[in-house]
Structure 1
Amino acid sequence: MGTLFQYARDSLTNLVSRMGTERDKASSSYYPLPFIADDQVLNAYRGAWLPRKIVDIPAFDSVRAWRDWMADGAEIEPIEAEESRLNVRGKMLEARIKARLFGGAAIHIGTGDANLAEPLDVERITKGGLKYLTVLSRRQLSIGEIERDPASEWYGKPRIYRLTAGDQAQVDIHPSRLVILTGNAQPDFELVGGGELAWGDSVLLSAMDAVKQADGTAANIASLIFEAKVDIIRIPNFMASLANEGYKTKILERYTLANTSKGINGTLMLDKEEEYESKSANFSTLPDILDRFLQIVSGAADIPATRLLGQSPAGMNATGESDLRNYYDRLSAMQALEMTPAMYRLDEAIIRSALGSRPADIYYEWAPLWGMSDKEKADVFKTKADAARAIAGGSGQQPLIPIDALSDALVNALVEDGSLPGLEAAIDEYGKLSEQEPSEEELAAAVANSNQPAAPQRKAANDAESRTLYVRRDVVNASEIKAWAEGQGIPDLVDDLHVTIIYSRTAMDWIKAGNASEWGSESGGKITIAPGGPRVVEPLGNMSAVLMFASSQLCWRHEEIVRAGASHDFEDYQPHIGLTKADVDLAKIEPYRGKIILGPEVFEEVMP
């Protein structure tokens, strides 16, 4: 005896409007199985600019900044050289483009093994064991039986891939020898269908309707240009006279002559009883319509319009920054969730092929996709320096953590984010702060060095009594900076280029300021600011233009003197070189990026 099932449906039905009935207009809408042939995908990619950009832009952006290896300096160089030899970055770009275009691609990890159907054992790869990398598209690789063992690494994936190598027989390749990349992943390929669809979908599949609509709209607008102006002439008894063949000939000759006359001298000659009218098409709303279709394409491709179309952001105060940040965040997640797992065996092979072994502490990080401007870099550096000074404590305050520990941590942070190029090498050469404890001789030298000769406009101090303090370092390579300033069109450059360390109107004991040699001074008391790093030209104080730069040495030296009892007119200290008080168009100035050599510290009193 069978069981009778009663089906119940909870929905709204309206017989008058036919809503919810078989005659409901919405009931005719459904989603068929999407399909696009490979030749159509290829033709669209080759012949239309929107499909090409949809495929290429995310693929290019995902490898544009590439990655940074974290290891000992002696290990990073061989790894990067191996990547360069094998063109890993270029191969990944090619594979990403083909995967997005056709729905799947792979990079064959070539180690010279005879039997490619066997799993790849990366631990057996020796130095130079990685021979080549070959990019293969889904069109070149067919799949074998699907792995059904849930305990297998390849569950739900093909057990083997078959490559048709020209006229030769098929070559079986184990999946461990391939870097497998897909386009739009299938939620469940068995529901969609097996076979080739196990790879994934082309990214154009879901966006193609939007692309066609945008291309069709643009083409129709272009055709309307030819109909922008239409001349209308009303002729008495025109339709009745068309029955006469001679009339047809005469009328064509008549208006051919009239148009010729109009084109030559702008005069249209008509019979008195004829009427002339010209109508122009209104295109004012067409750009907005096309923009809407292009925005739909941008949404379908999941690429911001500012990146896909190269257009400026629309709307008041719009910068497009949030859209780009979201886009780059998505790419960063894609790098971590898709590319890194797919490249795991390849990366292990690269490390062993470069070094001959696999040190356990080697890893890499994807480089940031969002690049900061020089101003943003300077702000970040300043924020870190301010935080470090707050932790170190002000005058008369105890630091929150030991200064040596804070110094080492700050050096590590500045090395990792690249705020001060060459800092790591300089630390290796000159040592850390914790390794530079002053000796009795250095303390005695600090007393002697504090008695610097006075500049003509200020009086020097010859004893340890409390007095105001002005400490500066003169720019040794001032000629280079003056040449740069001249090239940038900066007028009335000041004569004495220098960097102020402290300007204290509060009297203090100079001896407590200590010796600058404790802060990494070179021979002769000089310090060199390495080329690069954050540099900006902005107004400051009574100067219309100063060159701001980053220097942890100067910041820490300033803070040390403040803790010794000095005051400072500005809330925050920013190393800078004053340039001019004249009017300057700062937007047109490219900051000086060369090295800056500063002379020894000069101690003087602040003149009233």
Structure 2
Amino acid sequence: MANIIAFARDSLTNLVSRLGTERDKASHSVYATPILSDEQIVNAYRGAWLPRKIVDIPALDSCRNWRNWQAGDGQIEKIESEEKRLNVRGKVMQARTQARLLGGAAIFIGTGDNNLREPLEVENITAGGVRYLTVFSRKHLSAGEIDRDPASEMYGKPSFYRLNSRDGATVDVHPSRLAIFQGNAIGDDDLAFHQGWGDSVLTSVLDAVKNADSTAANIASLVFEAKVDVIRVPNFMASIGNEEYKRKILERYTLANTAKGINGTLMLDKEEEYETKSASFATLPDILDRFLTIVSGAADIPATRLLGQSPAGLNSTGEADLRNYYDRISAMQEIEMTPAMYRLDEALIRSALGSRDPSIHYTWAPLWQMTDKERADIFKTKADGARAIAGGNGQPPLMPVEALSDALVNAFVEDGSLPGLEAAIEEYGKLSDQEEDEDEVAAALPAPSRWQAANDAAPRTLYVRRDVLNAKEIIAHFKAQGLETTLPADDLHVTITFSRIPVDWMKMGEDWTGKDGRLVISAGGPRMMERFGEATVLLFSSSALSWRHEDMKRQGTSWDHPEYQPHVTISYGFDGDLSKVRPWTGEIVLGPEVFEEVKENWKEGITEDAER
């Protein structure tokens, strides 16, 4: 008696709507095994721009900023020199590209050994021991027998790889001699079309790419049909069977089109009708954008990176998409590339230095680069945090200052905030290494009463200015243009802050303009003449003054105006045509900062100088 096998399927079925029945077209859709030949994959890569970018972009980005070695003095230079000699960066990028395109690739570590079937003993590599690196794709390097021993560390992986040469000879290579890069994971090794390797990244995205390419091609073909002329001819169908009629009709409209091309006039018979129909392209860009968005999602590459276009939408910057993408690349570097390159890196270090220092390691350089302002803000935040930990203002330190100093040195060396810090520390020593004389330390500290006064200073209003040191030269320039009176030379200044809110002056810090405190505004740049109420002022630009003003605001000062604009008041008595006054474009030399309390009646002391 025959065995009857019944299959039970748990699904939603509705006989009224025919959902899930044999009349439901979607219910019988299945996913077939995707099979692409190497020829199809390479043709897509060579002949279409989207497949090429999908393969190349992540491979390029994963090697673009490369990595930062952490090692002792002189070791980093030797390792980086060895990397350049062997072109490690270029070989890794080539292997990554081949792996993404064909499903797998490997870098062969050439050491001159004859028996390649034996494991590579990296511990025996000496200086210059790595002679060359060679990249082999899956097409040239076939996986051997898969190790199925559960107790083996190589379980599920090929026990050897077979290199196929052009003359038909084969060479077996032990996996330890290869840095192996895989394509997309297959999910089930038993279903692997190429045993021991992965899939091409194009396997899962090629349908989306074809749809986008087909849509773009169809839109391009519509361009030629954008305008169609329709002419209605009496008795056309009844007469078309006459050969003489066909000849004459072709001559007739050839002549009409020629006349239209010459003078823009179309000549027709009175009984003929002429009509022009134009195709609409209004919604086609949106349709194409949707297909390209699907490609971007399938490739897991942001449209801003894949298509090189600006993000769409109000207030859209694409920054979040790029950050997520860069995080994914960083994860690929740590999870995929670092393990694949482990033996290569071990061999590289020994080939560069002759031995292996256990403290040597590297970090992948971040793809997302901070702006100078972001770096400065992070540095300031770390410095402020260090000050808080170190104590002060009557508060005890939270940890020994020497330990804090060592931690800060490590942090600033790691993030590159202070270039050359490591070399300077080696030359001058750490804080914990310094042996200070107690008398010198006591002499360097301020007197207790002065220290207490400085830290407990009562808040007061604050007016900070810089006097113009070349004021006579500037005044002569404006009087030569017709200004009868100006402020005296010793009254020309630039105001940095005018805070009616009391603040602690000691928190304002000091400017970084040098030992003599001078600040020189270079000649040129934006200069304008404006009126601020009754005052005629010279406007100029200075990032140093603007930064100092904002820094004081962060410390609590107030400002009566919406924004800060550096300027020098020239006169309060000029009422002529300001458009005819040329601004001073030479240097503006400013003296040190002067701190004073705010004087609300400051206008009472203003006088004008009429001398030329």
TM-score by length of 2: 0.74
* Conserved? CA contact 2:464–2:596, under 8 Å: no
Say whether 1:117 aligns with 2:117: yes
Which residue is equivalent to 2:330?
Answer: 332
Deviation at 1:83, TM superposition (A): 0.8
* Conserved? CA contact 2:79–2:352, under 8 Å: yes
Tell me the alpha carbon deviations over residues 301-321 of structure 1, each in whole angstroms, 9 at most, x when there is no partner: 111111100111112211111
Give the alignment of 1:41-190 within 5 angstroms. Answer: 41-167=41-167, 169-190=169-190
Which residue is equivalent to 2:393?
Answer: 395
Letter in 1 for 2:190: E
* Conserved? CA contact 1:108–1:178, under 8 Å: yes
Which residue is equivalent to 2:415?
Answer: 417
Which residue is equivalent to 1:457?
Answer: none
Q: Percent identity?
A: 67
Letter in 2 for 1:386: D
Pick the structure with greater CA Rg: 2
* Unaligned residue ranges in structure 1 (runs of 5+): 449-464, 475-494, 528-541, 551-557, 559-567, 583-600
Structure 1 residues 246 and 207: CA distance shift in structure 2, 3 A = same
Task: Measure, in 1, the Cα distance between the counterparts of 2:173 and 2:110.
Answer: 11
Give the alignment of 1:187-206 within 5 angstroms. Answer: 187-193=187-193, 196-206=194-204
Task: Measure, in 1, the Cα distance between the counterparts of 2:423 and 2:196.
Answer: 50
* Unaligned residue ranges in structure 2 (runs of 5+): 448-456, 468-491, 518-538, 558-563, 569-590, 599-612
Letter in 2 for 1:176: S
Letter in 1 for 2:38: D
Structure 1 residues 237 and 8: CA distance shift in structure 2, 3 A = closer
Task: Measure, in 2, the Cα distance between the counterparts of 1:100 and 1:160.
Answer: 22
Which residue is equivalent to 2:213?
Answer: 215
Structure 1 residues 27 and 467: CA distance shift in structure 2, 3 A = closer
Deviation at 1:544, TM superposition (A): 5.2
Which residue is equivalent to 2:11?
Answer: 11
Where 1:263 maps in the other structure, the secondary structure is: helix
Which residue is equivalent to 1:21?
Answer: 21
* Conserved? CA contact 1:386–1:572, under 8 Å: no
Say whether 1:294 aligns with 2:278: no
> What's the RMSD between the two structures over aligned residues?
3.9
* Conserved? CA contact 2:546–2:565, under 8 Å: no
Structure 1 residues 230 and 506: CA distance shift in structure 2, 3 A = closer
Which residue is equivalent to 2:262?
Answer: 264
Tell me the alpha carbon deviations over residues 349-374 of structure 1, each in whole angstroms, 9 at most, x when there is no partner: 01111111111111111111211122
* Conserved? CA contact 2:465–2:595, under 8 Å: no
* Conserved? CA contact 1:467–1:605, under 8 Å: no
Task: Measure, in 2, the Cα distance between the counterparts of 1:433 and 1:86.
Answer: 41
Task: Measure, in 1, the Cα distance between the counterparts of 2:446 and 2:97.
Answer: 67
Give the alignment of 1:275-294 within 5 angstroms. Answer: 275-294=273-292
Which residue is equivalent to 2:528?
Answer: none
TM-score by length of 1: 0.75
Tell me the alpha carbon deviations over residues 38-60 of structure 1, each in whole angstroms, 9 at most, x when there is no partner: 01111111111000000000000
Which residue is equivalent to 1:384?
Answer: 382
* Conserved? CA contact 2:463–2:597, under 8 Å: no
Task: Measure, in 1, the Cα distance between the counterparts of 2:255 and 2:3.
Answer: 88
Where 1:106 maps in the other structure, the secondary structure is: strand
Which of these residues, 555, 559, 566, is aligned with residue 571 of structure 1? 555
Which residue is equivalent to 1:36?
Answer: 36
Task: Measure, in 2, the Cα distance between the counterparts of 1:93 and 1:433.
Answer: 43
Task: Measure, in 2, the Cα distance between the counterparts of 1:396 and 1:355.
Answer: 51
Structure 1 residues 3 and 473: CA distance shift in structure 2, 3 A = farther
Letter in 1 for 2:543: V
* Conserved? CA contact 1:471–1:602, under 8 Å: no
Between 414-423 and 250-259, the greater mean CA deviation after superposition = 414-423
Between 86-95 and 247-256, the greater mean CA deviation after superposition = 247-256
Structure 1 residues 12 and 418: CA distance shift in structure 2, 3 A = same
Deviation at 1:412, TM superposition (A): 2.0
* Conserved? CA contact 1:505–1:606, under 8 Å: no
For this pair of structures, how many residues does the alignment match?
A: 506
Which of these residues, 287, 307, 311, is aligned with residue 309 of structure 2? 311
Which residue is equivalent to 2:245?
Answer: 247
Task: Measure, in 1, the Cα distance between the counterparts of 2:503 and 2:237.
Answer: 103
Between 265-274 and 18-27, the greater mean CA deviation after superposition = 18-27
Deviation at 1:11, TM superposition (A): 3.3
Tell me the alpha carbon deviations over residues 263-310 of structure 1, each in whole angstroms, 9 at most, x when there is no partner: 111111111111111111000100000000101111111111111001
Where 2:542 maps in the other structure, the secondary structure is: strand
